[in-house]
Amino acid sequence: MFAVDAARDFYQVSLKVGNPGSFDPELPYYKGLTKQDGDLPEEFIPRLTIWESKVSETEKLSLLKEHKTFNSMIRALIVQGKV
């Protein structure tokens, strides 16, 4: 169980890039998450890199508090035109 908890903690605060279609809510470390929390496509990396260079760590942490995971935060910011 420790490994699942560690994976969930890491997933919550870290960018996860890969195949968005690989999200499986039945896997233990995805429990309670939605597709919004799933992997981001690699094509978002350049936009994210630019955004991260302009935003302080304090602001990132503040934004992250409004979302379950880093990936859902980034998706919301993309929709808002901020990334």
Task: Give the C-alpha separation, 7 to 28, whole Å.
Answer: 9
Q: What is the mean pLDDT of residues 34-39?
A: 88
Provide the token pair at 66: 């409004």
Number of domains making up the chain: 1
Prediction pTM value: 0.82
DSSP 36: G
DSSP for 10-71 reads HHHHS--BS-GGG--TTSGGGTT--GGGSPBPGGGHHHHHHHHHHS-HHHHHHHHTTSSSHH
Tell whether the model's pLDDT for residue 10 goes beyond 90: no
Tell whether the model's pLDDT for residue 60 goes beyond 70: yes
Domain extent, residue 13, equals 2-79
Tell whether the model's pLDDT for residue 6 goes beyond 80: no
* Residue 2 pLDDT: 67
Question: Mean pLDDT, the chain, as a whole number?
Answer: 87
